Amino acid sequence: MTSELGHLLPEHRNEATLSNEERIRRIQLDRWISYPKAEAILARMSELLAYPPHDRMPALLIYGGTGMGKTKILRKFIRDYPPAFDDSVGITHTQAVHMQMPPEPDEKSFYEGLLDALGSPTNHYHNVAQLRRIARDLLQFVNARTLIIDELHSMLAGTQRQQQILLNTLRFLANDIKLPLICAGTGNAKRALMTDQQLADRFEIIELSRFLLLLSFYLCDAPSHPLYFGLKKIF
């Protein structure tokens, strides 16, 4: 049997002997496939995670169409920096806190989503000021180093007043707790940020387009191509 599977890496040979149903199930599992653009984004996210507290914290927006891999990149980063329990003090430190913008966004729903991401039960009778204080205290308690917000474009589902309040909330968290923000969404996420120029100026913006995605995968296998060095700099 080993000779028949000699073309496979040793760690995958056992999988080749499984039933058809089991092999199909394994093929359908979520897998991370690295490529230069994603690795560059992950490296930048790691830099933000290590960024020291500063009066004007940097931020990152990753935007692109549906299926461009934005959420995959965020989840890979979260796996690379999982929560860690500190036995000496009995506290779970969460460097990278990850949440989604609520589908019906308002300030209270935002803080409830943030507290849920922090593993904290919420009391629906709490008002916004109470939720804000609890979230602020918990972010400091778990030693959060960055706040990751996916589906930022959902902000546009709110009224113009709600959108401005949420943008002010993002600025408050960045300023008060000194957290770098990492956001992701569609092109509408960029449009939402642009309505607050003061906040938008803090964001480094990276686009994931289908064209650049294909080029990035191509460069993985064509380092000798004449265009390689000219294209590589954009990744």
- Between the alpha carbon of residue 183 and those of residues 6, 44, 149, 197, 226, the distances in Å are 45, 13, 5, 16, 35
Give the whole-angstrom CA distance, residue 11 versus residue 33: 18
For helices 160-176 and 128-141, give the axis angle rounded to 10 degrees. 30
pLDDT value at residue 37:
87
Which ranges constitute the DSSP H helices of the chain? Answer: 13-16, 20-27, 36-49, 70-80, 107-117, 128-141, 160-176, 187-194, 197-200, 210-221, 228-232
Report pLDDT digits (tens) over 185-223: 999 999 988 888 888 899 999 998 775 555 655 555 555
Domains of the chain plus CATH, in order, are 1-31 (no CATH), 34-232 (3.40.50.300)
pLDDT value at residue 16:
84
- pTM of this prediction? 0.82
**Pair type for strands 59-64 and 181-185:** parallel
Per-residue pLDDT band at 89 (split at 50, 70, 90): confident
Tokens of 73: 């990149």
State the chain's mean pLDDT as an integer: 86
Is 50 exceeded by the pLDDT of residue 148?
yes
Average pLDDT over residues 24-34: 84
